Structure 1
């Protein structure tokens, strides 16, 4: 398996991975990825792929967002989304993508990375419940346990506040869980 930066020619294979990995929500996530690409520059985000024998089998994005701290807005990153082709799941592809992305962000002096996800999965990378550390979710639709954060050496104790997702997450209604009965 090879991990590398996403290239222009990877767009359709990346889209396919998200469509397959997210099932009924695949189109929403694939569209979100397409929009999030516009928020990434070499200094402000990461889009990595995992490939096997030249085939894209996994994808992860880290994109810029803001933390509304009392002192000032703080530039942070959001890990979302992460997808692995179904036939490659549970083989370490997702873990390798997460670890590589976090290593890259730590080198860039990013103070915090947030995500919405399964605590049982992301805890192994050092993510912890955001609320326990004084961070507030950007939406009440995000379950407390799913709202997670990892702190890097650039973090300072005054950097506490509310996560403000970048506009594409709101545009695609990809924040938290919707109640299908309402």
Structure 2
């Protein structure tokens, strides 16, 4: 397996991975990736793929966010989304992508990385519940245990406060969980 930066020729394959990995929520996530891709620069953010036998089988995106700290705004990164083709999950592909991304971010002197994710998965990389580290989540719809952060070597103790997501997360309504709604006949509408 090779880990590398996403190339323009990978766009459709990356979209397909997210559509497959996220099921009904796949179109929202895939559209978010399309929008966030335009915010990634060589110095800020990441879009990494895992390639196996010439096929893109996993993807992770890291984009700019802000921490509204008492002293000043702090540029941070948000790891979202992470996807691996369903048939290849639990084989270490997602873990390799996260570890590779965190290594690059530490080299770039990024102080903090945030995410919304499974509290049973991300602690293996050093992520911990954000509230316990002095951070406030950007939306009440984010479950407390899902709001996680990792402090990298550039972190300083005064860096506490509220995470502010980049605008595309709000535009695509990709923050937190929405309560399912029901039609008059009782059918759940995603």
The residue aligned with 1:41 is 41
> Which residue is 1:90 aligned to?
90
What CA RMSD, in Å, does the superposition of the two structures yield over aligned residues? 0.8
Matched, 1:127 2:127: yes
Aligned to 1:174: 174
Take 2:91 and 2:181, find their aligned partners in 1: how far apart are those partners? 36
Q: What's the counterpart of residue 155 of structure 1?
A: 155
Count of aligned pairs between the two proteins: 182
Q: Which has the larger radius of gyration?
A: 2
Q: How far did residue 146 of structure 1 move? A: 0.3
Distance 2:31 2:107 in 1: 29
* Alignment partner, residue 24 of structure 1: 24
Structure 2 alignment gaps of length 5 or more: 183-190
Gapped runs of 5+ residues in structure 1? none
Shift of 1:181: 3.4
Q: Give the Cα–Cα distance (whole angstroms) in 2 for the partners of residues 115 and 4 of structure 1.
A: 21
Secondary structure at 1:28 match in 2:
helix
Q: Which has the higher helix share?
A: 1
- 1:78-106 Cα deviation digits (max 9, x unpaired): 00000000111110000000000000000
Inter-partner Cα distance in structure 1 for 2:117 and 2:150: 13
SS in 1 for 2:31: helix
Shift of 1:134: 1.1
1:153 deviates by: 1.0
TM-score if structure 1 supplies the norm length? 0.99
Look up the match of 2:2. 2
